Amino acid sequence: MSADAFVATWSRSARWRGAANAFAIGLPLILAAATLGWRLRGATAAVVVLIAGIAITAGIAAIRNRRYDRRWLIRTLDTTRPDMEDSADLLLTPAAGLNPLQRLQQARLHQRLETAAAPALRPAWSTHAITAAAIIAITITAAALLWPARDGSAPLRIGPTATTASGPPQLISQSLRINPPAYIGVPMRESDRLTARAPMGSRLTWTLRYAPQPGAVALTLTTGERIPLIRNGDSWIASRRLAQSMLYRIDTAGPLNRIDAIPDTPPVIRVIDPERTLTAMTQGQKRWALSFEVTDDYGVAATARLRMIVTKGEGENITFTESAQSLTGSGDRARKRFSASLDIASSGLTPGNDIVAQLIVTDNRVPAPQIARSASLILRWPPDLGKESAGMDGMVRTVLPAYFRSQRQVIIDAEALQAQRRRLPAATFAAKSDSIGADQRALRQRYGELLGDETSEAPVLPTSDAAETPKLKAPALEAGHAADDGHDHGAPKTKTFGNAMDVLADYGHAHDETASSLDPESAAMLRDAVEAMRQSEFNLRQAAPDKALPHAYTALRLIKKVQQAQRIFLSRTGPELPPIDPTRRLTGDRTGLV
């Protein structure tokens, strides 16, 4: 059975009783009014009054029967049947929208309704009102019949009979006024239902009327808090600002009522142009166009701030220059578009560096607007590919850009990833953390080379217990000779046991001069920095950027100390010139010179 059919079935008797009550009160008065009209204006007036009275009574009955709705049925079932356990609303909720526990409770309630005797849900007869209407009707009819036919000097006066209510206080009317915050732009509304949805921050005002008047009235929240109502004439009034959703009762015996607080969500920013986060500057480009679309449930602020950062340098010597400009949006209240066209030349961008732009917007929330930031957009000016000479030997090589991230950038990326941990799926979070760990590894190897560390991977482990078969290699030939040139090259040089050069040739290898370019104190600090990078990389690989950040900061601090050290010795290497032939000195022979 659907919810509407359920409500119609269980409220049918109440609707019939309500209509009967209305006609029991109205018909005597209608007949009296028709008699009076017949006495004063004739039969036509009596018929008109009779038809109009019946129509008005039917309309009043229909209006009053509207109160026998879903909410009335839930409240009545919870009040008259303790076995409903204040859960009658589950009877009218589709099973698809319930959790397993609620579906179990719903099935139990249906079973109780089928097994237990159905309670009388129809209201009682309005005895006092029916009696009063009958007395008034008899009085009017008697006066109309006994009124002299041609004497209209004495008007007929009908006085209402006052009745006093007795017994416990009964709630006869209720209303809930919702006054949303002014910045939302939604008008105030009032309802006779005590369950509602309202924007967070709205002012709620309850107005209740009882007959007879109680001594005190209060709203009891499920948290135990009580909101007392203050009497104002015949009404009881309470007011409260809605800070969060709440469940409450009127006193302790009434049904539960719910107020759902609708939160004000932060603005949502969508980048329209450029389409990618990282954009490479093209040849001849002079301006950079940016366009954003911002939406908000209750309105976006008319202006926004475009934050720009220009980078200069590379590695740990990078510097940042920050600036901002104000943008005015276009569009309606809830959807605005912000656009800007940046002059690349005036921004100070140089080859090999970046411009980072970010839009910062606010909504209209009072007193504290909510702030939203867009993704960082990067315009990169690729470095020029130049040539540099290696000296008099005429060799030329290409200068490549630096592909390594700085330690500061690793920290920035790790902190940004940690801030997004709750919003990202576990697999995506682990993949991004591993990517940052790869950057940390490359940076660690880069600094390890300065210390003479090895960057190659570990040797391949054996696949069996058998001894490795030695590989036969042909003896090395001297330069300018071949294996079949037709003459002997002599026996290879015999190695002397204990000779330092022979031991180095067999078991050692030469490093470049970067390992000796630092003084011992700086080298020790740099080695500690490399070890901190290793720990940072380990935690990043384990998808734990929060544990990696302390080690990353330690590495950055040590690197800065090394950079600021007073004694750093960097060896300078000049071109390697061929030896001079002493026999050609002072002869003037220039043959073979370049």
For residue 209, pLDDT beyond 70: yes
Separation CA 28–CA 432 (nearest Å): 83
What is the average pLDDT across 356-377?
A: 91
Q: Are residues 416 and 564 in the same domain?
A: yes
> Is residue 45 assigned to a domain?
yes
* CATH code, domain carrying 380: 2.60.40.10
Structural domain containing residue 362: 268-398
Residue 2, pLDDT score: 63
Q: Are residues 246 and 304 in the same domain?
A: no
Q: Are residues 183 and 108 in the same domain?
A: no
Q: Are residues 412 and 293 in the same domain?
A: no
* CATH code, domain carrying 449: 1.20.120
Residue 42, pLDDT score: 80
Residue 198, pLDDT score: 94
For residue 225, pLDDT beyond 50: yes
- The pair phi, psi for residue 464, each rounded to 5°, is -155, 175
What type of residue is 521? E
Q: With cut-offs at 50, 70 and 90, classify the pLDDT of residue 434.
A: very high
* CATH code, domain carrying 238: 2.60.40
Q: Are residues 303 and 436 in the same domain?
A: no
**For 330-344, 357-371, 551-565, which range has the lowest pLDDT when averaged over its residues?**
551-565
pLDDT in tens, 64-105: 777 777 777 677 776 767 766 666 666 667 767 777 777 777
**For 152-156, 313-317, 550-554, which range has the lowest pLDDT when averaged over its residues?**
152-156
Separation CA 39–CA 43 (nearest Å): 8
Among 389, 438, 384, 446, which residue's Cα sits nearest to residue 414?
A: 438
Separation CA 26–CA 273 (nearest Å): 71
Two tokens, residue 389: 């000479």
> Is residue 409 assigned to a domain?
yes
In the DSSP assignment, the letter for residue 210 is E
> Is residue 121 assigned to a domain?
yes
Q: Are residues 92 and 233 in the same domain?
A: no
Q: With cut-offs at 50, 70 and 90, classify the pLDDT of residue 572.
A: very low
Residue 578, pLDDT score: 65
What is the average pLDDT across 160-186?
A: 78
Separation CA 129–CA 520 (nearest Å): 106
Q: How far, in whole angstroms, is CA 538 from its chain's centroid?
A: 31
For 165, the enclosing helix (H) or strand (E) is none
- Where among 146, 161, 181 does a domain terminate? 146
How large is the greatest C-alpha to C-alpha distance in the chain, in angstroms?
A: 164
What is the average pLDDT across 157-182?
A: 72
Q: Are residues 410 and 526 in the same domain?
A: yes
Place of tokens 């301006």: 287
Separation CA 303–CA 190 (nearest Å): 35
Q: Are residues 237 and 299 in the same domain?
A: no
Q: Are residues 427 and 363 in the same domain?
A: no
Separation CA 37–CA 46 (nearest Å): 5
Among 263, 338, 326, which residue's Cα sits nearest to residue 300?
A: 338
> Is residue 464 assigned to a domain?
no
Evaluated on CA atoms 108, 114, 119, 121, the torsion sign reads positive
Q: With cut-offs at 50, 70 and 90, classify the pLDDT of residue 36.
A: confident
> Is residue 554 assigned to a domain?
yes
Average pLDDT, the chain: 77
Q: How far, in whole angstroms, is CA 547 from its chain's centroid?
A: 25
Residue 206, pLDDT score: 94
> Is residue 564 assigned to a domain?
yes
What is the average pLDDT across 456-472?
A: 46
> Is residue 504 assigned to a domain?
no
What is the average pLDDT across 410-423?
A: 90
What is the average pLDDT across 218-240?
A: 91
- The pair phi, psi for residue 281, each rounded to 5°, is -70, 135
Number of domains the chain is built from: 4
Residue 472, pLDDT score: 44
Among 486, 467, 405, 401, which residue's Cα sits nearest to residue 441?
A: 405
For residue 476, pLDDT beyond 60: no
For residue 497, pLDDT beyond 70: no
Separation CA 532–CA 562 (nearest Å): 14
Q: Are residues 528 and 409 in the same domain?
A: yes
For residue 4, pLDDT beyond 80: no
Q: Are residues 333 and 444 in the same domain?
A: no
Q: Are residues 426 and 565 in the same domain?
A: yes
Q: With cut-offs at 50, 70 and 90, classify the pLDDT of residue 461.
A: very low
For residue 494, pLDDT beyond 70: no
> Is residue 491 assigned to a domain?
no
Two tokens, residue 160: 């209402």
Residue 392, pLDDT score: 37
For residue 480, pLDDT beyond 70: no
